[in-house]
Structure 1
Amino acid sequence: MFVSAFLAATLLPLGSEAVLLALLYADYPVIPLIITATAGNVGGSLVNYWLGWRFGRAGIMRIAKVPEHRLVKAEHQFRLWGRWSLCLAWVPVIGDPLTFIAGILRISPVWFVVLVTAGKASRYIIISQLAA
């Protein structure tokens, strides 16, 4: 579960929800699964955050081949919605870029971990409840 959730939080096109559901249906305990999935997913997001922090805008454009205008737009949107948008880091398509932008903009690591964890844990809790 941890590895699946970790990789799903990177730019790899993977999801962890199917693994969570499979393990839930195999009668694995819910609370440890939610904790493990959340820890893995937040860990993957921390990698994105660190990459953004470490390489900055120019590095991310070079490494990830992101056009500057897209990065500028993403930074503008992030500043518009503020750090609270990190609660949406679990959302497909927008979540991974949010975590990179947070690193580029040097959002407080404490706020990053708190908000990303809250959003990702909520998602896993809701999925688990819907599966029950």
Structure 2
Amino acid sequence: MEAGIASWVNSLLAALAVPKLGLSAVFVIAVVSATLLPLGSEFAVIGLVKLDEGLFWPAVLVATAGNTLGGAITWWMGLGAEKAYEHLAHRRPHEARALQWLQRFGAKACLLSWLPVVGDPLCAVAGWLKLPFWPCVLYMAIGKFGRYLTMTAALLWWFPGQITL
């Protein structure tokens, strides 16, 4: 059984290998990394752009789209968790200081979804609090685009000797 799963994972990774399907791989990695799973997508973007600098804008835009989709999925997961909690507990959750802060800033707080460690859970909490979906997605996209643009440009052009493939 384990050999079958390992073979399937290896086949999937081979199909998404950067030189063959780079933008597809970046998209899938960006979606998965925006969920609560511990995975970073920046190295996939930087690796692809390092192989072909002409893919800078497509890679940044595809990574932004994938990461935003992953954030939106996480928002829906948060909404589902809140509904399940209400159903099981028959009451509204106790609102901690962080939840109150998020409610005060509303959807604009999703600009911080690009932050490591807290960004992805922030999307889930936005769903839990039933913050408006489309404004949250818009702010997620803006924050994530800024992160990919800044990190990719910085690592490729401001620190060019630091990255080798």
TM-score (norm 1): 0.84
Q: Deviations 1:47-82 (Å, cap 9, x if unpaired)? A: 1101112231654xx9xxxxx77x734312312443
- Give the match's secondary structure for 2:38: coil
CA distance in 1, matches of 2:36, 2:121: 8
Unaligned runs of 5+ in 2: 1-25, 158-165
CA distance in 2, matches of 1:17, 1:42: 14
Identity of aligned residues (%): 35
1:78 alignment partner, one of 77, 102, 121: 102
2:153 alignment partner, one of 114, 117, 129: 129
* Structure 2 match to 1:116: 140
CA distance in 2, matches of 1:21, 1:91: 18
CA distance in 1, matches of 2:74, 2:67: 11
Q: For the pair shown, which has the larger CA radius of gyration, 1 or 2?
A: 2
**Could you tell me which amino acid in structure 2 is paired with residue 91 of structure 1?**
L
**Could you tell me which amino acid in structure 1 is paired with residue 102 of structure 2?**
F
1:21 alignment partner, one of 46, 56, 64: 46
CA distance in 2, matches of 1:5, 1:91: 14
- Give the match's secondary structure for 1:89: helix
Q: Deviations 1:7-55 (Å, cap 9, x if unpaired)? A: 1101111000111111111015111101110011011111110111223
User: Is contact 1:74-1:101 (8 Å) kept?
Assistant: no
* Structure 2 match to 1:104: 128
* Structure 2 match to 1:9: 34
Offset, 1:127: 1.4
Unaligned runs of 5+ in 1: 63-67
Q: Using CA pairs below 8 Å that are at least 6 residues apart, which structure has the higher relative contact order?
A: 1
TM-score (norm 2): 0.68
**Could you tell me which amino acid in structure 2 is paired with residue 76 of structure 1?**
Q
* Structure 2 match to 1:65: none
CA distance in 2, matches of 1:73, 1:7: 29
Q: Tell me the C-alpha RMSD between the 2 structures.
A: 2.2
User: Is contact 2:78-2:128 (8 Å) kept?
Assistant: yes
